[in-house]
Amino acid sequence: ALMYGVVGFVFLFAAIWTGLWFSDRLVAPLVRLLDAARRVTRGELDAKVDVIEGPDDLQTLSRTFNLMTGRIKHQRDELVDANDTLDARQRFTAAMLEGVSAGVIGIDPAGNISLVNRSALLLLGVNEAELRGKAAETVLPDFTPIFTLALSRPSGFAEGQVDMQLRGESRSFFARVTTESSETESHGYVLTFDDITDLVSAQRNSAWA
């Protein structure tokens, strides 16, 4: 009985050891995948798992995971490069707008003011908070006829003289409205204007002379 008990214990121990060995070979790749997935969530897109010899499903899963992280890293790098390019273009556009003497106002497709340069604020005698995000027809009613004319034309372009009262003085502006459009849709409008009060006054005086 003792001999049979020892032999049975040996077989039981061998069976347990075999089960643990098999489960370890089965679970270890999944543990490595889980660890690599945690590293990816922390931003380590270089995380890879070793493709080990084993069941075809585990090999396929490992290869797919490595392929997925490689594509995510590639797409992330492309997005970062594109974002850097957009930032550079925005800084260049902002610097260019600040350097021109004409007033420039960007209007989105909904008719709200989305961009105002410094010259526009100085010419109109207002601050940015009074214009940005507001409806152009509400805060710039004197420019509405030219804006409406541009909307009615297929080219989306209109220009003309605008006379308005600013700080108790009569000022004249030459304004243009152009459309920001692509082949498929319109993206918004740009209103540019220059103060031509002195020119109009000179022409009037010349006419009277």
What pLDDT score does 52 carry?
62
Give residue 159's pLDDT band: very low, low, confident or very high (50, 70, 90).
very high
Burial (CB < 10 A; 0-12, 13-18, 19+), residue 51, is middle
Residue 56 has pLDDT above 80, yes or no: no
Residue 138 has pLDDT above 60, yes or no: yes
Q: What is the mean pLDDT of residues 40-55?
A: 72
**Cα angle 141, 147, 152; round to 5:** 135
What pLDDT score does 53 carry?
61
Are the CB atoms for 194 and 172 separated by under 8 Å?
no
Q: What is the mean pLDDT of residues 136-143?
A: 89
What pLDDT score does 170 carry?
86
Tell me, yes or no, if the pTM score tops 0.85. no
Residues 6+ apart with CB under 8 A from 109: 186, 187, 188
Q: What is the mean pLDDT of residues 113-126?
A: 88
Q: What is the mean pLDDT of residues 89-110?
A: 80
CA distance linking residue 22 with residue 108, whole number of Å: 64
Residue 143 has pLDDT above 60, yes or no: yes
Closest CA to 145 of 128, 125, 161: 161
Residue 175 has pLDDT above 90, yes or no: yes
